[in-house]
Amino acid sequence: MSGLLEISGLAVAFGRRGARPVLDGVELSVGEGEIVGVIGETGSGKTTLARTAVGLVPARSGRVVFDGREISGLRGRALRAFRRSGRLSYAFQDPLRALDPELTVRRAVAEPLAVAGDLDGAEIAARVDEALETVGLDAARLGDRLPGAISGGQRQRVLLARAIVTRPRLLIADEPVSALDASNRNRVLRLLDRLRTERGMAVVVISHDLSSLAGIADRVAVLYRGRVVEQGPVREVFGRPLHPYTALLIASAPSVRAEGGPGAAALRPSAEPPAWTAREGCVFAHRCPFVIGSCRTAPASGPVGEGRTAACHRVPEWHGLVATAQGPPELVAAAGETHKEAGRPPALSRTSEKG
Protein backbone atom coordinates (compact mmCIF):
# COMPACT_ATOMS: atom_id res chain seq x y z
CA MET A 1 0.00 0.00 0.00
CA SER A 2 1.29 3.45 -0.93
CA GLY A 3 0.73 5.95 1.87
CA LEU A 4 1.63 9.46 2.95
CA LEU A 5 4.26 7.96 5.27
CA GLU A 6 6.04 4.74 4.32
CA ILE A 7 8.52 3.14 6.72
CA SER A 8 10.28 0.02 5.49
CA GLY A 9 12.98 -2.19 6.99
CA LEU A 10 13.77 0.44 9.63
CA ALA A 11 16.53 -0.45 12.09
CA VAL A 12 17.96 1.74 14.85
CA ALA A 13 20.69 0.87 17.34
CA PHE A 14 22.43 2.84 20.06
CA GLY A 15 25.79 2.31 21.69
CA ARG A 16 28.50 -0.10 20.62
CA ARG A 17 28.51 -1.96 17.33
CA GLY A 18 26.68 -5.26 17.57
CA ALA A 19 24.30 -4.04 20.28
CA ARG A 20 20.74 -5.33 20.07
CA PRO A 21 18.77 -2.95 17.84
CA VAL A 22 16.14 -0.74 19.45
CA LEU A 23 14.13 -1.05 16.23
CA ASP A 24 14.54 -4.00 13.89
CA GLY A 25 12.95 -4.26 10.45
CA VAL A 26 9.98 -2.01 11.24
CA GLU A 27 7.34 -1.65 8.51
CA LEU A 28 4.59 0.95 8.81
CA SER A 29 2.33 2.79 6.38
CA VAL A 30 0.09 5.78 7.11
CA GLY A 31 -2.42 6.98 4.53
CA GLU A 32 -3.91 10.41 3.91
CA GLY A 33 -6.39 11.40 6.62
CA GLU A 34 -5.79 8.18 8.55
CA ILE A 35 -5.29 7.70 12.27
CA VAL A 36 -2.83 4.92 13.06
CA GLY A 37 -2.06 3.84 16.61
CA VAL A 38 1.29 2.41 17.67
CA ILE A 39 0.99 0.45 20.89
CA GLY A 40 3.31 -1.52 23.11
CA GLU A 41 4.65 -1.56 26.63
CA THR A 42 7.35 0.80 27.93
CA GLY A 43 10.67 0.09 26.24
CA SER A 44 9.17 -1.40 23.09
CA GLY A 45 10.65 1.34 20.87
CA LYS A 46 7.57 3.48 20.24
CA THR A 47 9.19 6.86 20.94
CA THR A 48 12.34 5.89 19.05
CA LEU A 49 10.16 5.03 16.06
CA ALA A 50 8.47 8.44 16.24
CA ARG A 51 11.75 10.33 16.60
CA THR A 52 13.35 8.41 13.74
CA ALA A 53 10.37 9.10 11.49
CA VAL A 54 10.79 12.87 11.94
CA GLY A 55 14.59 12.80 11.61
CA LEU A 56 15.58 13.33 15.26
CA VAL A 57 17.25 9.89 15.46
CA PRO A 58 19.36 8.49 12.60
CA ALA A 59 18.42 5.10 11.19
CA ARG A 60 21.03 2.38 10.89
CA SER A 61 19.21 0.97 7.88
CA GLY A 62 15.85 1.10 6.16
CA ARG A 63 13.85 3.93 4.62
CA VAL A 64 11.42 6.62 5.75
CA VAL A 65 9.48 8.09 2.82
CA PHE A 66 7.14 11.04 3.34
CA ASP A 67 4.86 12.18 0.53
CA GLY A 68 6.99 10.34 -2.03
CA ARG A 69 10.32 11.75 -0.83
CA GLU A 70 12.85 9.75 1.15
CA ILE A 71 13.69 11.73 4.26
CA SER A 72 15.70 9.18 6.24
CA GLY A 73 18.84 10.14 4.31
CA LEU A 74 18.48 13.91 4.77
CA ARG A 75 21.34 15.63 6.56
CA GLY A 76 22.45 19.16 7.32
CA ARG A 77 20.75 21.96 5.40
CA ALA A 78 18.32 19.63 3.60
CA LEU A 79 17.12 18.15 6.91
CA ARG A 80 16.71 21.59 8.50
CA ALA A 81 14.73 22.82 5.50
CA PHE A 82 12.41 19.81 5.69
CA ARG A 83 11.79 20.30 9.42
CA ARG A 84 11.05 24.00 8.94
CA SER A 85 8.48 23.21 6.26
CA GLY A 86 6.21 21.93 9.03
CA ARG A 87 4.54 19.34 6.80
CA LEU A 88 5.48 16.55 9.21
CA SER A 89 5.00 17.57 12.82
CA TYR A 90 5.84 15.90 16.14
CA ALA A 91 4.14 16.52 19.49
CA PHE A 92 6.55 15.46 22.21
CA GLN A 93 5.56 13.22 25.09
CA ASP A 94 5.88 15.47 28.15
CA PRO A 95 4.47 18.99 27.65
CA LEU A 96 6.02 20.36 30.83
CA ARG A 97 9.49 19.43 29.58
CA ALA A 98 8.82 20.10 25.90
CA LEU A 99 7.61 23.66 26.45
CA ASP A 100 10.20 26.33 27.31
CA PRO A 101 9.28 27.49 30.84
CA GLU A 102 10.28 31.07 29.96
CA LEU A 103 8.18 31.36 26.80
CA THR A 104 4.57 32.45 27.05
CA VAL A 105 1.89 30.28 25.48
CA ARG A 106 1.64 32.59 22.49
CA ARG A 107 5.39 32.66 21.87
CA ALA A 108 5.72 28.90 22.30
CA VAL A 109 3.03 28.22 19.71
CA ALA A 110 4.53 30.82 17.35
CA GLU A 111 8.05 29.39 17.54
CA PRO A 112 7.83 26.94 14.56
CA LEU A 113 6.55 29.75 12.32
CA ALA A 114 9.18 32.19 13.53
CA VAL A 115 11.94 29.65 12.82
CA ALA A 116 10.59 29.00 9.31
CA GLY A 117 10.67 32.74 8.58
CA ASP A 118 8.03 32.67 5.84
CA LEU A 119 5.39 34.87 7.53
CA ASP A 120 5.36 38.38 8.95
CA GLY A 121 4.36 39.22 12.52
CA ALA A 122 0.67 39.81 11.81
CA GLU A 123 0.36 36.55 9.88
CA ILE A 124 2.09 34.63 12.64
CA ALA A 125 -0.21 36.12 15.27
CA ALA A 126 -3.28 35.16 13.24
CA ARG A 127 -2.03 31.60 12.79
CA VAL A 128 -1.28 31.30 16.53
CA ASP A 129 -4.80 32.45 17.41
CA GLU A 130 -6.20 29.96 14.89
CA ALA A 131 -4.19 27.07 16.35
CA LEU A 132 -5.15 27.89 19.94
CA GLU A 133 -8.80 28.20 18.98
CA THR A 134 -8.63 24.84 17.18
CA VAL A 135 -7.46 23.10 20.35
CA GLY A 136 -10.10 24.87 22.44
CA LEU A 137 -7.97 27.48 24.22
CA ASP A 138 -8.69 31.18 24.61
CA ALA A 139 -5.69 33.04 23.20
CA ALA A 140 -6.70 36.33 24.83
CA ARG A 141 -6.93 34.75 28.29
CA LEU A 142 -4.02 32.28 28.19
CA GLY A 143 -1.68 33.71 25.55
CA ASP A 144 0.51 35.66 27.97
CA ARG A 145 0.77 32.94 30.61
CA LEU A 146 3.80 30.72 31.16
CA PRO A 147 3.49 26.89 30.93
CA GLY A 148 3.81 26.54 34.70
CA ALA A 149 0.77 28.79 35.21
CA ILE A 150 -1.72 26.62 33.29
CA SER A 151 -3.16 23.18 33.94
CA GLY A 152 -1.80 19.89 32.63
CA GLY A 153 -4.65 19.51 30.19
CA GLN A 154 -4.09 23.03 28.89
CA ARG A 155 -0.35 22.40 28.49
CA GLN A 156 -1.07 19.30 26.43
CA ARG A 157 -3.33 21.31 24.15
CA VAL A 158 -0.72 24.08 23.85
CA LEU A 159 1.75 21.41 22.72
CA LEU A 160 -0.74 20.23 20.10
CA ALA A 161 -1.40 23.82 19.01
CA ARG A 162 2.33 24.28 18.43
CA ALA A 163 2.41 21.04 16.45
CA ILE A 164 -0.47 22.03 14.15
CA VAL A 165 0.30 25.75 13.72
CA THR A 166 2.32 24.92 10.59
CA ARG A 167 -0.74 23.10 9.14
CA PRO A 168 1.04 19.78 8.75
CA ARG A 169 -0.16 16.90 6.59
CA LEU A 170 0.92 14.38 9.23
CA LEU A 171 1.04 14.75 13.00
CA ILE A 172 2.87 12.25 15.20
CA ALA A 173 1.60 12.56 18.77
CA ASP A 174 3.70 10.78 21.40
CA GLU A 175 1.58 9.69 24.39
CA PRO A 176 -0.76 12.69 24.04
CA VAL A 177 -3.10 11.62 26.85
CA SER A 178 -0.91 9.57 29.21
CA ALA A 179 -0.81 12.15 32.01
CA LEU A 180 -4.37 13.46 31.71
CA ASP A 181 -7.53 12.79 33.68
CA ALA A 182 -10.53 11.23 31.95
CA SER A 183 -12.15 14.53 31.00
CA ASN A 184 -9.03 16.03 29.41
CA ARG A 185 -8.12 12.71 27.80
CA ASN A 186 -11.44 12.55 26.00
CA ARG A 187 -11.13 16.19 24.94
CA VAL A 188 -7.70 15.60 23.36
CA LEU A 189 -8.84 12.40 21.63
CA ARG A 190 -11.85 14.20 20.14
CA LEU A 191 -9.50 16.94 18.98
CA LEU A 192 -7.27 14.47 17.15
CA ASP A 193 -10.29 12.93 15.48
CA ARG A 194 -11.53 16.39 14.48
CA LEU A 195 -8.17 17.32 12.95
CA ARG A 196 -8.46 14.27 10.73
CA THR A 197 -12.08 15.00 9.80
CA GLU A 198 -11.87 18.76 9.25
CA ARG A 199 -8.33 19.15 7.93
CA GLY A 200 -7.68 15.78 6.33
CA MET A 201 -4.63 15.50 8.57
CA ALA A 202 -3.10 12.06 9.07
CA VAL A 203 -2.26 11.26 12.70
CA VAL A 204 0.02 8.68 14.31
CA VAL A 205 -0.78 8.21 17.99
CA ILE A 206 1.95 6.59 20.09
CA SER A 207 0.34 5.08 23.17
CA HIS A 208 0.40 2.28 25.71
CA ASP A 209 -3.27 2.94 26.50
CA LEU A 210 -5.39 0.70 24.27
CA SER A 211 -8.68 2.26 25.31
CA SER A 212 -7.53 5.66 24.05
CA LEU A 213 -7.11 4.26 20.54
CA ALA A 214 -10.16 2.03 20.39
CA GLY A 215 -12.53 4.88 19.54
CA ILE A 216 -10.44 6.96 17.10
CA ALA A 217 -7.82 4.81 15.35
CA ASP A 218 -8.40 3.24 11.94
CA ARG A 219 -5.49 0.85 12.20
CA VAL A 220 -3.04 -0.21 14.87
CA ALA A 221 0.54 -1.51 14.87
CA VAL A 222 1.78 -3.53 17.84
CA LEU A 223 5.43 -3.05 18.74
CA TYR A 224 7.41 -5.38 21.01
CA ARG A 225 11.15 -5.13 21.64
CA GLY A 226 11.63 -3.14 18.47
CA ARG A 227 9.65 -5.43 16.15
CA VAL A 228 6.17 -4.89 14.74
CA VAL A 229 4.51 -8.17 15.70
CA GLU A 230 1.04 -7.36 14.36
CA GLN A 231 -0.82 -4.76 12.27
CA GLY A 232 -4.38 -4.37 11.12
CA PRO A 233 -7.71 -2.56 11.48
CA VAL A 234 -8.12 -1.63 15.13
CA ARG A 235 -11.46 -3.40 15.63
CA GLU A 236 -10.17 -6.63 14.14
CA VAL A 237 -6.90 -6.55 16.07
CA PHE A 238 -8.63 -5.82 19.37
CA GLY A 239 -11.47 -8.26 18.61
CA ARG A 240 -9.32 -11.22 17.54
CA PRO A 241 -5.57 -10.67 17.91
CA LEU A 242 -3.24 -12.73 15.75
CA HIS A 243 -0.15 -12.50 17.95
CA PRO A 244 0.04 -13.81 21.55
CA TYR A 245 1.63 -10.57 22.72
CA THR A 246 -1.26 -8.54 21.34
CA ALA A 247 -3.65 -10.90 23.10
CA LEU A 248 -1.76 -10.37 26.37
CA LEU A 249 -1.98 -6.59 26.02
CA ILE A 250 -5.72 -6.80 25.38
CA ALA A 251 -6.27 -9.24 28.24
CA SER A 252 -4.58 -6.72 30.55
CA ALA A 253 -6.94 -3.93 29.41
CA PRO A 254 -10.50 -4.79 30.54
CA SER A 255 -11.96 -1.77 28.74
CA VAL A 256 -11.10 -3.23 25.31
CA ARG A 257 -11.09 -6.95 26.09
CA ALA A 258 -13.81 -8.83 24.23
CA GLU A 259 -16.40 -10.64 26.30
CA GLY A 260 -15.26 -14.21 26.83
CA GLY A 261 -11.70 -13.42 25.77
CA PRO A 262 -8.81 -15.15 27.56
CA GLY A 263 -7.47 -13.68 30.75
CA ALA A 264 -3.86 -12.63 31.16
CA ALA A 265 -3.03 -15.72 33.23
CA ALA A 266 -3.88 -18.02 30.30
CA LEU A 267 -1.42 -16.12 28.12
CA ARG A 268 1.60 -16.40 30.38
CA PRO A 269 3.96 -19.41 30.40
CA SER A 270 3.89 -21.69 33.42
CA ALA A 271 7.25 -23.29 32.63
CA GLU A 272 10.75 -21.87 32.30
CA PRO A 273 11.42 -20.62 28.75
CA PRO A 274 13.99 -22.44 26.61
CA ALA A 275 17.53 -21.20 27.19
CA TRP A 276 17.90 -20.10 23.58
CA THR A 277 15.18 -17.44 23.96
CA ALA A 278 17.68 -15.16 25.70
CA ARG A 279 19.82 -14.81 22.56
CA GLU A 280 17.90 -15.80 19.43
CA GLY A 281 14.59 -16.51 17.79
CA CYS A 282 11.24 -14.78 18.16
CA VAL A 283 11.44 -11.66 20.33
CA PHE A 284 8.44 -12.83 22.36
CA ALA A 285 9.53 -16.45 22.81
CA HIS A 286 10.73 -15.97 26.40
CA ARG A 287 7.24 -14.85 27.47
CA CYS A 288 5.12 -17.00 25.17
CA PRO A 289 3.18 -20.03 26.46
CA PHE A 290 3.02 -21.43 22.93
CA VAL A 291 6.76 -21.47 22.17
CA ILE A 292 8.01 -24.46 20.17
CA GLY A 293 11.24 -25.39 18.45
CA SER A 294 10.44 -23.53 15.22
CA CYS A 295 10.28 -20.28 17.21
CA ARG A 296 14.07 -20.48 17.41
CA THR A 297 13.96 -18.88 13.95
CA ALA A 298 12.60 -15.34 14.17
CA PRO A 299 9.32 -15.22 12.24
CA ALA A 300 8.95 -12.70 9.45
CA SER A 301 5.87 -10.52 9.38
CA GLY A 302 3.46 -11.84 6.77
CA PRO A 303 -0.08 -11.24 5.55
CA VAL A 304 -2.89 -13.01 7.37
CA GLY A 305 -6.11 -12.21 5.57
CA GLU A 306 -6.96 -8.83 4.11
CA GLY A 307 -5.22 -5.83 5.64
CA ARG A 308 -3.58 -7.74 8.49
CA THR A 309 -0.06 -8.93 9.19
CA ALA A 310 1.51 -10.91 12.02
CA ALA A 311 4.97 -12.19 12.92
CA CYS A 312 4.21 -15.54 14.55
CA HIS A 313 4.88 -19.13 13.47
CA ARG A 314 1.74 -20.33 15.22
CA VAL A 315 -0.92 -18.14 13.62
CA PRO A 316 -3.74 -19.04 13.91
CA GLU A 317 -3.33 -22.36 15.76
CA TRP A 318 -2.38 -20.85 19.13
CA HIS A 319 -5.98 -19.69 19.63
CA GLY A 320 -7.03 -23.31 20.02
CA LEU A 321 -4.40 -23.85 22.70
CA VAL A 322 -5.36 -20.98 25.01
CA ALA A 323 -7.70 -23.14 27.08
CA THR A 324 -4.83 -25.51 27.94
CA ALA A 325 -2.11 -22.90 28.21
CA GLN A 326 -2.00 -23.17 32.00
CA GLY A 327 -1.28 -26.89 31.78
CA PRO A 328 1.97 -27.41 29.88
CA PRO A 329 1.59 -31.21 29.43
CA GLU A 330 -1.79 -30.78 27.74
CA LEU A 331 -0.49 -27.88 25.66
CA VAL A 332 2.41 -29.97 24.42
CA ALA A 333 0.14 -32.84 23.53
CA ALA A 334 -2.13 -30.51 21.58
CA ALA A 335 0.83 -28.97 19.81
CA GLY A 336 2.33 -32.32 18.94
CA GLU A 337 5.72 -31.45 20.40
CA THR A 338 7.51 -32.41 23.60
CA HIS A 339 9.19 -30.01 26.03
CA LYS A 340 12.49 -31.62 25.15
CA GLU A 341 11.99 -30.81 21.46
CA ALA A 342 11.17 -27.22 22.30
CA GLY A 343 14.31 -26.99 24.42
CA ARG A 344 12.35 -26.08 27.53
CA PRO A 345 12.34 -27.94 30.87
CA PRO A 346 8.94 -29.35 31.85
CA ALA A 347 6.99 -27.69 34.63
CA LEU A 348 6.68 -29.58 37.90
CA SER A 349 3.30 -31.12 38.50
CA ARG A 350 1.42 -30.35 41.71
CA THR A 351 2.24 -33.86 42.96
CA SER A 352 5.97 -33.49 42.39
CA GLU A 353 5.92 -30.05 44.04
CA LYS A 354 4.55 -31.61 47.21
CA GLY A 355 6.72 -34.61 47.23
Q: Which of 257-266, 309-318, 319-328 has the highest mean pLDDT?
A: 309-318
- Residue 342's pLDDT band, with cuts at 50, 70 and 90, is low
How much is the pLDDT for 102?
A: 96
Distances (CA, A) of 309 to 19, 232, 347: 27, 7, 32
Where is average pLDDT lowest: 133-137, 207-211, 234-238?
A: 207-211
- Residue 347's pLDDT band, with cuts at 50, 70 and 90, is very low
Domain assignments of the chain as residue spans, ordered by start: 5-236, 247-354
pLDDT above 80 (res 351): no
H, E, C per residue of the chain: CCCCEEEEEEEECCCCCCCCCCEEEEEEEECCCCEEEEECCCCCCHHHHHHHHCCCCCCCEEEEEECCEECCCCCHHHHHHHHHHCCEEEECCCHHHHCCCCCCHHHHHHHHHHHHCCCCHHHHHHHHHHHHHHCCCCHHHHCCCCHHHCCHHHHHHHHHHHHHCCCCCEEEEECCCCCCCHHHHHHHHHHHHHHHHHHCCEEEEEECCHHHHHCCCCEEEEEECCEEEEEEEHHHHHHCCCCHHHHHHHHCCCCCCCCCCCCHHHHCCCCCCCHHHHCCCCCCHHHCCCCCHHHHCCCCCEECCCCCEECCCCCCHHHHHHHHCCCHHHHHHHHCCCHHHHCCCCCCCHHHHHC
37, 203, 5, 130: CA torsion to nearest 10 = -170
How much is the pLDDT for 344?
A: 53
Tell me whether residue 313 is exposed, middle or buried, using C-beta atoms within 10 angstroms of its C-beta: 0 to 12, 13 to 18, 19 or more.
Answer: buried
- Residue 330's pLDDT band, with cuts at 50, 70 and 90, is very low
How much is the pLDDT for 339?
A: 44
Q: What is the mean pLDDT of residues 234-250?
A: 95
CATH topology of domain 5-236: Rossmann fold (3.40.50)
pLDDT above 70 (res 204): yes
Vertex 302: Cα angle to 296 and 303 (nearest 5): 150
Distance of CA 211 to the CA centre of its chain: 13
pLDDT above 50 (res 328): no
pLDDT, one tens digit per residue, over 35-44 is 999 999 999 9
How much is the pLDDT for 226?
A: 97
pLDDT above 50 (res 349): no
Q: What is the mean pLDDT of residues 187-207?
A: 94
How much is the pLDDT for 327?
A: 43
Q: What is the mean pLDDT of residues 198-211?
A: 94
> How large is the angle between the packed helices 152-164 and 182-199, nearest 10 degrees?
20
How much is the pLDDT for 15?
A: 82
Percent of all residues in the chain with a pLDDT value above 70, rounded to a whole number = 90
Distance of CA 17 to the CA centre of its chain: 26
Q: What is the pTM of this model?
A: 0.88
- Residue 350's pLDDT band, with cuts at 50, 70 and 90, is very low
Buried-exposed string 73-109: b where 16+ CB fall within 10 A, e elsewhere? ebeeeeeeebbeebbbbbbbbebeebbeeeebbbebb
pLDDT, one tens digit per residue, over 288-297 is 999 999 999 9
